[in-house]
Amino acid sequence: MRIPTWADIGVEGYLGPGPGIGGRLRARVGDFVVLEIPLRPPAGEGKYTWFRVVARNWETMRLVRALARQLGVSRRRILFAGTKDKRAITSQWMSVDLEPGVLTRISLRDVHVPEWGRDPEPVELGRLWGNRFHVLVSSPDLPPSEALEAVSEAEFPNFFGPQRFGALRPITHLVGMRILARDWRGAV
């Protein structure tokens, strides 16, 4: 089953009614950076090792599986606050119930662990302030100063991308449409 496209989930544009600035979004992996903002830093002591993972072009669940293999644990023992885009450079906190010394085993291409700490609680799904995004628009049609002015005055829609609808069985957008239509049988 293929991952839905932006059009499949109803996204037909990125900006408001203005003409836009042209250019390309996410032409290269490094053109999109996602920095997770945790609710708080690790406490300093506790059962869990929290570690910040910086990864380039890694889908979150594949990264978790690869980390689990290298640490010699089940993937269920590696917890994280949210999934991140694959085609990006991402920074996010994860946790595992192991001593911090095991992090030296991590040797994955385009992955590094710049910091870690201990905490009595694990990192939990959804427990984060949010994400900060850095997006590069390459080759805009306007000179940089005009592009900046146009973007700063524009309206940006807020929506979830296709990755939020699942990669293993990407049908949740279809189920959601059936629920909105109150078609309970069609939803299941």
Catalytic residues: 85
> Residue 172 is which amino acid?
T
Residue listed under structure tokens 């427990």: 127
Residue 136's nearest CA partner among 122, 125, 151 is 151
Q: Are the C-beta atoms of 99 and 49 separated by less than 8 Å?
A: yes
- Give the C-alpha separation, 84 to 87, whole Å: 9
